[in-house]
Structure 1
């Protein structure tokens, strides 16, 4: 079966998380758990960095931290083209590339 066809059959419950009436795209469920955990670790560090940099009034650090958040969220499938419209192999490749980029920032 075509991977995009199988992914396209994902239900709305599998695609979206609703919080206070607002829809947020869920993490790609096909990603390996170790990749998801590593990307979420970077996401948490990025979010923490945004808060710290804002408190310090450091615009460059805010931009760098937001970049980390964006790369992590793209890797998780939460931003960019919807994961359910893309082949699984492409999604995994993008997640691993995001993780390499994030690891290089450390």
Structure 2
């Protein structure tokens, strides 16, 4: 892979994953990453309970966090930085409403 590719992709066990948008401010990236971890955990809990509605809600939160981080949706390197930051903040606001962070 080229240097540019190395900045955009992470390869694990031969599978390519999109990296987090490096332009996100630390506080935004950290908050979205926290939401992502909590949502992934919620998926597992809901699956073990057999609660399909909770699984769907938690997966929605995973998707929002991944979109906010730039790991899903339009490729972050193809979008202007202000647009990417606005999308990340919108995702974070929605996540904070759906699952307020522990204070």
TM-score computed with the length of structure 1 as normaliser? 0.90
Could you tell me which of 77, 86, 89 is aligned with 1:84? 77
Distance 1:20 1:26 in 2: 15
Deviation digits for residues 40-74 of structure 1 (CA, Å, limit 9, x no counterpart): 00000100000000011000000000000000000
CA apart distance, 1:77: 0.1
- RMSD over equivalenced CA pairs, Å: 0.8
TM (norm. structure 2) is 0.92
Higher relative contact order (CA 8 A, sep 6+): 1
**4+ runs deviating over 3 angstroms:** none
Structure 2 residue ranges without an equivalent (≥5): none
Structure 1 residue runs of 5 or longer lacking an equivalent are 1-9
Indicate which of 46, 52, 58 corresponds to 1:59. 52
